Amino acid sequence: MFGVYLQVADLERSLRFYRDLLALNVDWNDGALAVLHGPPKPGNTLVIREIGEKARHDLGEAGVTRVFWQARDSADLDHAEELLTGAGVRYKRHRDTNLDGIGVRDPDGLEIILLCVSENVRAGAPPAWLYWYH
């Protein structure tokens, strides 16, 4: 289990993205801070806090520029793809023999990578795509 803490410009806009498009479950929302998790519960945790328009996520600068979120299987990614397509959100699906993933940007521009990785990739050197910027 792991957790990610994000500061966002608009909490409700970000909730619509993470809850409605990435299908995370909301455990807490007091209007300033929300706690979400992925299945199965307790699952991985995402905390988002509204800080207003000063939220920035610039690729190549210090700080978090990408968040990797593990999907249970390719069916979860198929479901996420259906939700993103239905909402007209731009994304890119990456598939090969060892990896199935979706790259999408959240409402504040942070790159979110949903991944389903085969067991034989988990050991050894990280895959080359971790070094790519686009």
pTM over 0.85: no
What's the sign of the alpha-carbon dihedral 23, 21, 101, 62? negative
* Average pLDDT for 13-28: 93
Whichever domain contains 74, its CATH number is 3.10.180.10
The tally of domains found in the chain comes to: 1
- Pairwise CA distance, residues 121 & 99, whole Å: 8
Quick: pLDDT tens for 59-88: 555 566 788 888 888 899 999 999 999 999
Using the predicted structure, report yes or no on whether residue 92 has a pLDDT greater than 60: yes
DSSP collapsed to 3 states, 52-121: CCCCCCCCCCCCCCEEEEECCCHHHHHHHHHHHHHCCCCEEEEECCCEEEEEEECCCCCEEEEEEECHHH
Share of the chain above pLDDT 70, in %: 74
Q: How confident is the model at residue 134 (pLDDT cuts 50, 70, 90)?
A: very low
Share of the chain above pLDDT 90, in %: 36
- Pairwise CA distance, residues 30 & 13, whole Å: 14
Q: Which domain holds residue 22?
A: 3-131
